[in-house]
Amino acid sequence: MAWQTPKTNWGQPGQTVPGATDFNRIEGNTQYLKDEIDTRMQVISEITYYVNASSGNDNNNGTSSGTAFKTINKAIQVAQKQIAASITINIAAGTYVEIVSIKNMLCNYLNLNCTTNVHINGRIEVDNANRVKIYRANINATNSYYGILAENVRKLDISRISITGATMGISLSNIEMVNIDGDSISGGECIRANTVGNLRVKDVTLSAAAAAAIFLMDCTFAYTSGLKGSIGSVPVHSVSGSILIKGASTIVGGADTKSSGGQIFEQE
């Protein structure tokens, strides 16, 4: 059924507000409106954008590999405006020189999905988002201080990421749940978590730490296992006002430290 005799000039000079006949017109098209709304909700339930540093163009629509954006930030800027259950940004191999800014996302879930050999010269920032996954990227943070800086997120997944050149590899603040899995992190502090509800760090290689490799402050609960690498004499964990459970790891480093009521337990 098509829309019946639509009226499009409400609010224009010389026109009146909607009257009874206009509302009758709406009532006569309720099924049409329902079908339109249902269709649009289905369309925006899942959205995919594409980025390609070599062949992309930020004037493209980014909805296919052949019409990819050139920069990651352009894809994120477009995604920010979308109310969707899930948005995936597929990033092709290449070098991206940018500070990737994931902020104020309306979607329920954003997946930053990098193919093999994606290199980001800069850092990734996440602020004010529901759920974000960062998958398989090589971050060179030599000139950016942080590799990943994240705050005010409900759930954050960081998987198969390599971070080099950072003063602070991953900085986390005010996040309900964080999973860090299968990464390689180099930095003066590899991971710093402040006011994180639940932190899980598993199968991560840590190196070049000048202070503690993993610093926990005012975190409700943290669990680490499968840590690898060698960090000299600095502590593997520094725990302040937090509860840490340690699983089996092979990392070589100094003794853990705790302060301000911090507690460390060994998993049997």
Task: State the pLDDT at residue 38.
Answer: 53
Task: State the pLDDT at residue 45.
Answer: 86
Q: Token digits for 132?
A: 């974000």
Taking the alpha carbons of 111, 116, 118, 119 in that order, is the dihedral positive or negative? positive
Task: State the pLDDT at residue 216.
Answer: 98
Rg (CA), the chain: 24
Residue type present at position 142: T
Where is average pLDDT lowest: 18-22, 61-65, 136-140? 18-22
Distances (CA, A) of 136 to 133, 161, 162, 250: 10, 5, 8, 23
Q: What share of the chain has pLDDT > 90, as a percent?
A: 80
Whether 9 shows a pLDDT value over 80: the answer reads no
Whether the model pTM is above 0.75 = yes
Where is average pLDDT lowest: 6-15, 91-100, 150-159? 6-15
- Contact predicate 193/216, CB 8 Å: yes
Where is average pLDDT lowest: 15-19, 38-42, 164-168, 209-213? 38-42
Whose tokens are 């409106």? That residue is: 33
Whether 1 shows a pLDDT value over 50: the answer reads no
- Contact predicate 91/73, CB 8 Å: no
Q: How confident is the model at residue 268 (pLDDT cuts 50, 70, 90)?
A: confident
Task: State the pLDDT at residue 257.
Answer: 97
pLDDT tens, position by position, 114-150: 999 999 999 999 999 999 999 999 999 988 999 999 9
- What count of other Cβ atoms lies within 10 Å of the Cβ of residue 214? 31
Whether 24 shows a pLDDT value over 60: the answer reads no
Whether 206 shows a pLDDT value over 90: the answer reads yes
Q: Which is higher by pLDDT, 179 or 16?
A: 179
Residue 204 and residue 90: Cα distance in Å, rounded?
A: 24
Q: What is the 3-state secondary structure (H, E, C) of the chain?
A: CCCCCCCCCCCCCCCCCCCHHHHHHHHCCHHHHHHHHHHHHHHCCEEEEEECCCCCCCCCCCCCHHHCECCHHHHHHHHHCCCCCEEEEEECCEEEEEEEEEECCCCCEEEEEECCCEEEEEEEEEEEEEEEEEECCEEECCCCCEEEEEEEEEEEEEECCEEEEEEEEEEEEEEEEEEEECCEEEEEEEEEEEEEEEEEEECCEEECCCCCCEEEECCCEEEEECCECEEEEEECEEEECCEEEECCCCCEEECCEEECCCEEEECC
Mean pLDDT of the chain: 90
